[in-house]
Structure 1
Amino acid sequence: MTINRRQVVAGGLVAATGLGFASAASAADPVKVWHHGGRGDGERERMEALIKAWNEQNPSVPAVLEVQPEGAYNEQVQAAAASGGLPDLLDFDGPNYANYVWSGYLLPLNGLVPQKIFDDVIPSIIAQGTYAPDGKVYSLGMADSGLSIWGSKSLLEKAGVRIPKGVDDAWTMEEFEDALAKLQKLEGIKYALDIKANYGQGEWYTYGFSPIVQSFGGDLIDRKAWKASGTINGAAAVKAMTHFQGWVKNGHVVPASEGDDAFYGKKTAALSFVGHWMWPAHSKALGEDLVLLPMPNWGGKHVTGNGSWCWGITTTSKQPENAAKILEFFMSGDNVAALSQAMGGVPAVKSAAPKVDLYKDGGPLSLYLAQLNGGMGMPRPAHPAYPAITAAFAKSVADIIDGKDVKTALDEAAQKIDQDIADNSGYPPFGQ
């Protein structure tokens, strides 16, 4: 579907300290809404429909949807902020919000968005959007995400591997690695585990594999001192990533060269470690044989990745109250449910889940909400240095997959992150 109204935003540079409330807008000024467009999964069309519905119901507060290319979205935001061209309501990938807040791009939503909306949002999305220095919420998302292990019931039974019944029954590391060894021996199975290495070095490597580190009690950065050294390369992280590298060395992991479909297409992989977005392909290929397994309790702490694209109101908005009304409209149970039905994301408000077949109680993907509502979701570090944090960790994961010494790879990541923080004088008020 073609976007009817799209505007091009020019770039430039201006200091973040100059950002603030602008003069009042005229009643005729539309509320500008930026969105990344989605990836052909129905999200773009649903957002168009939401804006159309809003305009029909609220003709005195018109909104215009402007879709920006996802691949260069962050660069578009930075350029627009520099030139004073940010929209009123901004869509962005969750981990980037702390950098945007620190740079002065976003307003706190507390006091703008009604409390009933906060009360309806699942805890993992509130945690993702809470800014550590002041404890206020700067972002809300309509969808969340999660990780799990997808498997074939018949293969698991054939290998004599226990099938967990729920979150409280998840595999330990010992059980997980025992399952890999048993599944690898089955006829026709070339690899026990697909970790989506084909996604390549990037945000997937951080989103997907940092929960393994966190399960062992490690993290990407100390979230109080805001230093990486001693945490991303600490004993817990080294132990976690040594196990991870062991899966590769033992030949259990599907290499990137095998592409995306080893589990659901070629069926040469027995398990797939990935998120909710693979439901359409997996369910179509395996049907009733498909089983969704909870994240293993690898190191003694139950953790799943979470986070997704979300909304914030910009400091340059001339009508933040109207932007907040549109955000409240977006976050209604009915609208979140409709978006989830359209593109499959985990509904981020409690009132939406019963209306979504995939996520209602007993639904095939209800495990994801059970994990998130059970406190397993651990947002990626909400720190202005997040771009450096994720780049450094993703590079270490790639190096570890390639056989580099685990401690050396993580030491290098710690050095890069702490250097970025030092180069920015600690990103005050963080670490103070």
Structure 2
Amino acid sequence: MRRWFIRFVGFVVCGVLALGQVPIEVTVWWHTGQPDELAVITAFVEEFNAKQNEIRVKLVTIPEAEYTAQVRAAGLAGKLPDVLDLDGPTMANFVWNGWLIPLDRYITEDLKEDFLPSIIAQGIYPPDGKIYALGMVDSGLALWGNRAYLEKAGVRIPTSAADAWTLGEFEEVLRKLATLPEVQWPLDLKLSYGVGEWFTYGFSPIIQALGGDLINRTTWKAQGTLDSAASVLGMTLLQYWIKQGWVVPASAGDDAFYGKKTAALAWVGHWMYGPHLRGLGNDLVLLPMPKLGAGCRAATGMGTWAWGITSACKHPDAAWKFVEYLLQPEQILRFSNANGAVPARKSAIAMSELYKPGAMLNIYAQQLETIAIPRPVHPAYPTITSAFAEAVQNIIAGANIYEELHRAALKIDQDIEENEGYPPFGR
């Protein structure tokens, strides 16, 4: 009887295997950010598992504050999952360490063309030109305005990225707003966010609009670029705005624009749409980044979390099927609606009530197609951002601008030199 039972079980197992009904398990790591994001991602996993029998996705959630450190530890220990959710600026370091595989063989030309160029730029690893990560959404940086104050000051209100204020106009707007009795500070730069990634995301576009940058993206040297005349000019503008008394100090908190309404403009991203709308209602208006540079050049921050497949994945085709499912326009739109970020695909933007042409937040989409500059896709990015943020903090406090940027450039180049140039970069 026992022998018969064993044969029967073996027959059943072999039959199931023959029918392809033993699913491939794909482990996915996700950073737990906003609760609404987690709810949508969890729903995506459940729906994907329910719609087919070949693949079973196992979702592992890790607190955002610990996430990147856990990925690094897993990478060094050879214990990475199959699919990673990763913050865009960390991608180059992960690729350099050999933890991600290129996705190009899965990405058709039509799919690539439908993505925002900013998403593609963030996902390309410069040494080989291949794409290693794709996001469902992107972020955006622009100016939020209090329409009532702008109209009272008699200033022009731009309606598109092409229509943005020039540097001269922008500073004249700040002067006029400063004369209004309701306005204590014309501009909130979110200095209350403190030293960190915001200083790079929010303020590197100032130097980039003027022709500077955080690092030379061909030689991968910071000296001569971060401390160039163009970069110094950009930080001179920032320091000048502060010295004029136009900028909300960090000590004033986060709500000068949308709460106390003592600020008329807020230089910040899409994530403040909800608080701003609740605070200002019909007086809320979204404005493009000002054209600070010669030739009416502007720049905007961009980049956010994206999906990649690890080198530890034994079934990359199965892993891609799940990633591909997440990247469908309908899923992207659901995720965008949950967290408010810019849909990563043009077809999803066209369906979005917030981001489609003529919608409230469309300027973010316009800018991501035209003036977005990714943060440097380089393994030394952690040093690049920390050195620049420290320099910005000191510049805000009144320090010598060239000295601070030069010191930051030296720190970056020293890190790169200590890592022998992070080959194959700079070759």
TM-score normalized with structure 2 length: 0.93
Question: CA offsets, 1:391-424, max 9 Å, x none?
Answer: 0001111111111111111011001000000000
2:145 is aligned to 151
Larger Rg: 2
Q: CA deviation at 1:60?
A: 2.1
1:418 is aligned to 413
Contact kept? 2:23, 2:53, Cα under 8 Å = no
Letter in 2 for 1:336: I
Give 3-state SS (helix, strand or coil) of 1:311's partner.
strand
Whole-angstrom distance in 1 between the partners of 2:383 and 2:143: 28
Gaps of 5+ in 1: 1-25
Q: CA deviation at 1:59?
A: 2.5
2:11 is aligned to none
2:365 is aligned to 369
Whole-angstrom distance in 2 between the partners of 1:324 and 1:153: 46
Give 3-state SS (helix, strand or coil) of 1:278's partner.
helix
Match of 1:342 among 335, 338, 343: 338
Q: Does 1:388 pair with 2:367?
A: no
2:422 is aligned to 427
1:401 is aligned to 396
* CA-based RMSD: 1.2
Question: CA offsets, 1:268-314, max 9 Å, x none?
Answer: 11110001111111111111111111000111322111111001100
2:273 is aligned to 279
Identical residues among aligned pairs (%)? 52
| Alignment: residue pair count | 405
Whole-angstrom distance in 1 between the partners of 2:165 and 2:351: 30
Q: CA deviation at 1:58?
A: 2.0
Q: Does 1:177 pair with 2:171?
A: yes
Give 3-state SS (helix, strand or coil) of 1:90's partner.
strand
How do residues 74-153 of structure 1 correspond to structure 2 at under 5 angstroms?
A: 74-153=68-147
Whole-angstrom distance in 1 between the partners of 2:47 and 2:104: 25
How do residues 180-259 of structure 1 correspond to structure 2 at under 5 angstroms?
A: 180-259=174-253
Gaps of 5+ in 2: 1-20
Q: Does 1:34 pair with 2:29?
A: yes
Question: CA offsets, 1:352-377, max 9 Å, x none?
Answer: 1122210112110011111112x211
Give 3-state SS (helix, strand or coil) of 2:131's partner.
coil
Contact kept? 2:24, 2:54, Cα under 8 Å = no
Whole-angstrom distance in 2 between the partners of 1:100 and 1:224: 20
Question: CA offsets, 1:123-164, max 9 Å, x none?
Answer: 110011111111100110000011111111110111121111
Letter in 2 for 1:366: N
1:22 is aligned to none
Match of 1:167 among 157, 161, 165: 161
Give 3-state SS (helix, strand or coil) of 1:44's partner.
helix
1:69 is aligned to 63
Q: Does 1:358 pair with 2:354?
A: yes
Contact kept? 1:329, 1:335, Cα under 8 Å = yes
Whole-angstrom distance in 1 between the partners of 2:270 and 2:196: 19
Contact kept? 1:347, 1:353, Cα under 8 Å = yes
Q: Does 1:306 pair with 2:312?
A: no
Letter in 1 for 2:367: Q
Letter in 1 for 2:79: G
How do residues 9-24 of structure 1 correspond to structure 2 at under 5 angstroms?
A: none
Give 3-state SS (helix, strand or coil) of 2:29's partner.
strand
TM-score normalized with structure 1 length: 0.92
Q: CA deviation at 1:70?
A: 0.6
Contact kept? 1:32, 1:66, Cα under 8 Å = yes
Letter in 2 for 1:54: F
Contact kept? 2:147, 2:285, Cα under 8 Å = yes
Whole-angstrom distance in 1 between the partners of 2:288 and 2:138: 16
